[in-house]
Structure 1
């Protein structure tokens, strides 16, 4: 572990039985906090923590990024007598951290509302243990991989609530926004966070967003001392650089990775930003330094605790990081998460049909024109009144149907209907159908409206994907931080009136308003967005032989989930639409993940 990542930890109740279970972690654990009895409490290898105990026997630890110091925490804690009051107090503290509270044998623990910091729990020898990583718990309880859950991960989109199910039998996830209670009383969860009401005008919300982002970035820079940052040329990473440069101890190394796509103009915008933002040291990588997609997959470092396609990005995402680390960087800032918190979901306009129909219809027409949806297919989605459980049950019947068109009007519904790739076996398909139908019996949407359900689902998927990349970066020595996914930033974004931040007429209007005067004006007027389809196509072509060898020795095939012969055949034809648009990345992520664990 380096000094500023999330690391790992496990939480144990105050009892003699915890000694034997905690001893299973001793060879890997670098730190231990004990209960007053001397029994192990927090065991692991984590960084950036502050903790205190008051005279009433209440203990609190904040594990992660926070500007709150020990003296301030003790002042907050003074006079607090009830553990529930301490839960409410810690919910108001700034930063990005886990909270662990203990009083008289009862433990309350939580991650962040956005989900970048998670919690999991399991039971072994009658003892409940919690941890911030599912794979840590799986190791403690010797849990096997759940192949039914693994089959679900072959879907291009895993619908709620199945995306939160850990890959090991007996390991359970705490849903973001809930806290875990265990120890003296039976293990249970409770809600501690609700999304804010959307009522703030754009200009007011932009001020709040600028303050939240500024604090999120400043907290990381001041804690790490020497940092570096991504500068992709997009608005999100440029914002992070603009906020970090003034508080950096020296020139801020700003890393730009070029693309082989001749139509990608990200580098031009990155150069413009580097020239106009004071305090940046622009590090532009040479194109020959950039690995193609699907290169070095067997060199991916692990383990990580779930298979998401971001694990495949490790060779590309971490290029240049060794040099930054050698130059003294202790933490690398990214703009990841900006797309997930700033892009207001189009389903908001469906919700507005009853209260502001003219505004809603105008925006829906805009989305239709942009995406060339027919009136018939748009009306079909807008008039769909199925409850979420029924939608999920119907989705189970369609997992092997042809894929819907990209950017379909399904965005106005509960979700994009999930599909399995053509190389999934009949056994895998049967397993996925069973899982979806079983979940449909009791499934409730994440939010009361389709828009809130979709935004929470999009946010939680984004934090899960970002979290996995953070884990592989820690293995490589230079941990990442993604300030856009701080709870305070999410709240600032989601407090803004939905019709002002979710619009087909402008791209990220909230961030543009917030950063006017802080990032170059020309960048605020940018209408293009870079993408790496050429690199992906080249990667498939150049690595087809290596990928075919991977499938010939496939762990997924051994488990009976994919047809290896069909994958080999399709892989050797890299221009096949079935390969490029058929869910390859999800399948590869599962295959590589199995090998890393």
Structure 2
């Protein structure tokens, strides 16, 4: 693998039985760290790690992006005697990394609270094994695909807690914010992170966000040396470029992908940013280099952990990366995650109705006016007092109902009601209903309020989608880094008073305040947002024959989950609203994923 991606690794307890299980990873494993006994401990192919062991027998490894060096880690470790103390210590370290702690046969391991770095576990031959990728564990334990979970992925929105369920039977996920404990005792999880209290004024929070983002970007640039970055013309990618350019080893190659949509003005804003930010080498791709949506799907590389629509973006997202690699780039920075951490969820204003009713009502009226919601449908959601489990059980009854309107007032509720596409088979629908109802019996929301539940759900979905794109980029040789999804950045954003960052009157006010003086002033005043709807429509039309051929040989149809004839018929009518708004991308992602594993 390229030296600055996440790579993969598996963790083994200290016992002789681990030797045989770890051997299943040969010859793919390029690195092995052993226990003092000589038994395999961390096996895989990863980079960017630092580790140390102290005189009391405590070991810690940080695998990923961190400014902490070996000497500093040893200093932190000195005098620590209890493994729980080490858990608390590592929670305060900056960066984006996995933590692996071991003491006297007990292992504690975790990813990040945001969820960009994840952890999974499974049992084979009586041995608990953990890994940062579900597909690695599935290979170790020879796990089959769980078709009930695959059916869930046909939904347009997979509700909590089912979105975190791995696609392989017997493989279990560690929820972001929790750590895994195993070794001499059975595997169990415990929380190590809680969202911050929202109490900081926006101006103070903006200072904290600027420092956290600067540290996140600097850590990547200083480790990789020569880096490149996306420059879409949006605020998030421009922020990353503005922070990376001053610390880059040479001119920062900033990549802009144009759109065929005549109403998309992203390129104009990207050019403006490139002209005003010192140290940028602007690379504007030719429109003819950009594949249409739905092009090259059979060339998508895998495997990846799960079938999210981001795998469909691989042919487009990686355009220009070969040239960046040839120019010496070792890591490509993105602005992904900015939308997920900066957009204060509207449900905050529902929560404020009891404590600050005038502020809440003013904002709710603003959201109503922007989205043209009726008073009746808005009040229906605001007065809905169902607990989360009941909402989930009721959602099971509505998965084949007509889709709610885009941008509906359901944003004030627990989630957007999920829907199956019309081409899902009755068997698939029955499976999804069973899964939702079973989960509803014990389901608890991610947070104590609807706002916190929604923000955590949005964040974790965003990190899952970004993580998959990171995985496909590693396959292609130029790994990605997304600094907005560092835990320190998330905490800086979410510490700000909810009514100041969740507003219908402004777009990302926290980031605008944080980057004033670093990002061109004109961009901070931008009121438009580019999209690629023309590319998507053209892609459906131009690729309809190839897509129809895909459905004629559908793996999903073989599994009994979709009606291939209906998909062929709809695909050959690319102007059909059912095709454009009926969940095609989720179904396509499942089909392509099945072909890559």
- With normalisation by structure 1, the TM-score equals 1.00
Matched position secondary structure for 1:573? coil
Whole-Å Cα distance in 2 between the matches of residues 250 and 27 of structure 1? 37
**How much has 1:335 moved relative to structure 2?**
0.1
Whole-Å Cα distance in 2 between the matches of residues 71 and 227 of structure 1? 26
**How much has 1:373 moved relative to structure 2?**
0.2
Matched position secondary structure for 2:50? strand
Whole-Å Cα distance in 2 between the matches of residues 182 and 26 of structure 1? 23
Unaligned runs of 5+ in 2: none
Q: Residues 550-591 of structure 1: CA distance to partner in whole angstroms, max 9, x if unpaired? A: 000000000000000000000000000000000000000000
Q: Residues 94-153 of structure 1: CA distance to partner in whole angstroms, max 9, x if unpaired? A: 000000000000000000000000000000000000000000000000000000000000
Q: Residues 14-62 of structure 1: CA distance to partner in whole angstroms, max 9, x if unpaired? A: 0000000000002100000000000000000000000000000000000
Matched position secondary structure for 1:379? helix
**How much has 1:185 moved relative to structure 2?**
1.6
State whether residues 389 and 441 of structure 2, in contact with CA within 8 Å, keep that contact through their aligned partners in structure 1.
yes
Matched position secondary structure for 2:185? coil
Whole-Å Cα distance in 2 between the matches of residues 341 and 395 of structure 1? 27
Whole-Å Cα distance in 2 between the matches of residues 378 and 337 of structure 1? 29
State whether residues 116 and 464 of structure 2, in contact with CA within 8 Å, keep that contact through their aligned partners in structure 1.
yes
State whether residues 377 and 409 of structure 2, in contact with CA within 8 Å, keep that contact through their aligned partners in structure 1.
yes
Whole-Å Cα distance in 2 between the matches of residues 200 and 521 of structure 1? 25
Whole-Å Cα distance in 2 between the matches of residues 207 and 134 of structure 1? 37
Whole-Å Cα distance in 2 between the matches of residues 112 and 322 of structure 1? 30
Q: Residues 220-248 of structure 1: CA distance to partner in whole angstroms, max 9, x if unpaired? A: 00000000000000000000000000000
Matched position secondary structure for 1:560? coil
Tell me how many residue pairs correspond in the alignment.
Answer: 597
| Residue equivalent to 1:392 | 392
Whole-Å Cα distance in 2 between the matches of residues 309 and 347 of structure 1? 26
**How much has 1:184 moved relative to structure 2?**
1.1
Whole-Å Cα distance in 1 between the matches of residues 186 and 474 of structure 2? 34
Matched position secondary structure for 1:87? helix
Whole-Å Cα distance in 2 between the matches of residues 146 and 330 of structure 1? 37
Whole-Å Cα distance in 2 between the matches of residues 238 and 170 of structure 1? 42
State whether residues 231 and 255 of structure 2, in contact with CA within 8 Å, keep that contact through their aligned partners in structure 1.
yes
Whole-Å Cα distance in 2 between the matches of residues 258 and 291 of structure 1? 11
State whether residues 51 and 61 of structure 2, in contact with CA within 8 Å, keep that contact through their aligned partners in structure 1.
yes
**How much has 1:511 moved relative to structure 2?**
0.1
| Residue equivalent to 1:39 | 39
Matched position secondary structure for 1:511? helix
Whole-Å Cα distance in 2 between the matches of residues 170 and 274 of structure 1? 49
Whole-Å Cα distance in 1 between the matches of residues 553 and 64 of structure 2? 40
Hey, which bits of structure 1, 4+ residues long, moved more than 6 A? Answer: none
| Residue equivalent to 2:83 | 83
Give the aligned CA root-mean-square deviation in angstroms: 0.2
Q: Residues 467-520 of structure 1: CA distance to partner in whole angstroms, max 9, x if unpaired? A: 000000000000000000000000000000000000000000000000000000
Matched position secondary structure for 2:273? helix
State whether residues 234 and 529 of structure 2, in contact with CA within 8 Å, keep that contact through their aligned partners in structure 1.
yes
Unaligned runs of 5+ in 1: none
Q: Residues 424-459 of structure 1: CA distance to partner in whole angstroms, max 9, x if unpaired? A: 000000000000000000000000000000000000
**How much has 1:187 moved relative to structure 2?**
1.0
Matched position secondary structure for 2:52? strand
Matched position secondary structure for 2:5? coil
**How much has 1:186 moved relative to structure 2?**
1.8
State whether residues 128 and 186 of structure 2, in contact with CA within 8 Å, keep that contact through their aligned partners in structure 1.
no
Matched position secondary structure for 1:253? strand
Whole-Å Cα distance in 2 between the matches of residues 401 and 343 of structure 1? 29
**How much has 1:304 moved relative to structure 2?**
0.2
